[in-house]
Amino acid sequence: MRPKLTLKQIAKELDVSISTVSKSLRDSPEIGEDTRQKVQAFAKLYNYKPNNIALSLKNRKTKTIGVVIPEIVHHFFTTVISGIEHVANEKGYSVIVCLSDNSFDKEVLNMEMLANGSIDGFILSVAKETMQKGDYHHLIEVVNQGMPLVLFDRSVEEVPSDKVIIDDVKGAKKAVQCLIDKGAKNIGIISTVDYISVGKLRTQGYTEALQENGFNVNQKSILKIENMDNIESEISAFVKESDFDALFAVNEHFAAAAVRAVRDKGQKVPDDVQVIGFTDGELSKRFIPSLTTISQHGSRMGEEAARLLIEKLEKSPNEEESYKTIIVETGLIERESTK
């Protein structure tokens, strides 16, 4: 077992001073050709790499991005991570991923842990419980400390920061309009409780789209799901209750469960009931029937968020502060679950 090499060891080995070694490796012109060669050869031979921790301490920069997300099982979040990773690595940054499990306490804890020097900036999507409480002082705290923060997807207005979101209202309208265009008359929505911003906004888009097309909005056509534990039965009951000819689900799990509920009721998708989802994941693609959906471009959101963060990290500190909000366009992917 051969432990990592340090400048000090090289210096001792070659019988020169530490700074000579350091300078040689950084190709400083102060150092003579021959010593430089010698040192570089030695370093290469024994595969010297500077210690990141020491560099971080010295430069007050870790070249690491902290990502905090509510859960990783939603395919959407994994695509976001993938996008973040992609541009981060490209620019020489590492990515620390922490899961809040949708818990306020875990979110706070994770952020404290990371904020104490481990990272240069945050990319975060707010936990469900945090939105429910409406308590954002841990977020505001980090930006006050001068640590850049980019919020994505589940964003909150109260926090002054860069944001990467999609236009949920517009996306939802797109979905509902699509259903209407295909002849739907009685459209139900399967959404989340209102304190989840995206659920609220998508419900709003649904409502607006109906109104703009001269439809009535019936509260019985709106299902708001609180937790993911037994969505099957909730959705099944909801579908049985009314005579829908189309359903709009705010995520792909809901959409898949909706299809099942329709079939359990003895109806067919898309012939009797059309179904449209939100977020384009593996499930939507592989499902039978494959699911028409509003695509959220998770990896692009991740890329944008990373770009935004790194831009802020690398700009000179005397530039004036300004917060951007990037709205990633949604798309409509038509597949088998609509006519």
Partner DNA sequence: TTGTACGCGTTATCAC
Partner DNA sequence: GTGATAACGCGTACAA
276 vs 237: CA distance, rounded Å: 19
Phi-psi region of 321 (alpha: psi -120 to 50; beta: other; left: phi over 0): beta
Q: How far is the CB of 42 from DNA (least distance, A)?
A: 13
Phi-psi region of 134 (alpha: psi -120 to 50; beta: other; left: phi over 0): left
Q: How far is the CB of 177 from a second copy (least distance, A)?
A: 26
Give the total residue count for the chain: 339
In 3D space, the residue among 154, 151, 129 whose CA is nearest the CA of residue 139 turns out to be 151
Of 57 and 113, the one with the shorter C-beta distance to DNA is: 57
Site string for a second copy, 144-183 (x = CB under 8 A): xxx-------------------------------------
Stretch that binds a second copy, among 15-23, 193-201, 205-213, 278-286 (CB under 8 A): 278-286
What residue 297 binds from a second copy, DNA, none (CB within 5 to 8 A, per partner kind)? none
What residue 69 binds from a second copy, DNA, none (CB within 5 to 8 A, per partner kind)? none
In 3D space, the residue among 4, 27, 6, 34 whose CA is nearest the CA of residue 18 turns out to be 6
Q: How far is the CB of 250 from a second copy (least distance, A)?
A: 15
Of 118 and 213, the one with the shorter C-beta distance to a second copy is: 118
C-alpha separations of 222 from 163, 191, 235, 273 in Å? 29, 7, 11, 16
Q: What H or E segment, with its residue span, contains residue 90?
A: helix 75-90
What residue 256 binds from DNA, a second copy, none (CB within 5 to 8 A, per partner kind)? a second copy
What residue 45 binds from DNA, a second copy, none (CB within 5 to 8 A, per partner kind)? none
Helix, strand, coil percentages in the chain from 3-state DSSP, rounded to 5:
45, 15, 35
Contact 199, 193 (CB under 8 A): yes
What residue 22 binds from DNA, a second copy, none (CB within 5 to 8 A, per partner kind)? DNA
76 vs 49: CA distance, rounded Å: 36
Of 8 and 268, the one with the shorter C-beta distance to DNA is: 8
Q: How far is the CB of 41 from DNA (least distance, A)?
A: 14
Q: Judged by CB under 8 A, which of 29, 33, 220, 288 binds a second copy?
A: 288
Of 16 and 326, the one with the shorter C-beta distance to DNA is: 16
19 interacts with a second copy by CB under 8 A: no
Q: Which of residues 38-67 bind a second copy (CB under 8 A)?
A: 49-54, 56-57, 62, 64
Contact 261, 240 (CB under 8 A): yes
Phi-psi region of 87 (alpha: psi -120 to 50; beta: other; left: phi over 0): alpha
User: Which tokens sit at 303?
Assistant: 């890329």
In this structure, the strands spanning 222-225 and 162-166 are: unpaired
127 interacts with a second copy by CB under 8 A: no
Cis status of the peptide bond prior to 270, with omega within 30 of 0: yes
- Output DSSP code: residue 215: P
Give the interface with DNA as residue ranges (CB under 7 A).
6-8, 16-20, 22-23, 25-26, 30-32, 34-36, 50-51, 54-55, 57-58, 60
What residue 2 binds from DNA, a second copy, none (CB within 5 to 8 A, per partner kind)? a second copy
Torsion of CA 140, 142, 144, 148, to 10 degrees: -110
72 interacts with a second copy by CB under 8 A: yes
Site string for a second copy, 249-268 (x = CB under 8 A): ----x--xx-xx--x-----
Residues forming the site for a second copy (CB under 8 A): 1-4, 49-54, 56-57, 62, 64, 72-73, 75, 78-79, 81-82, 85, 89, 94-99, 106, 109-110, 112-118, 144-146, 253, 256-257, 259-260, 263, 282-283, 286-288
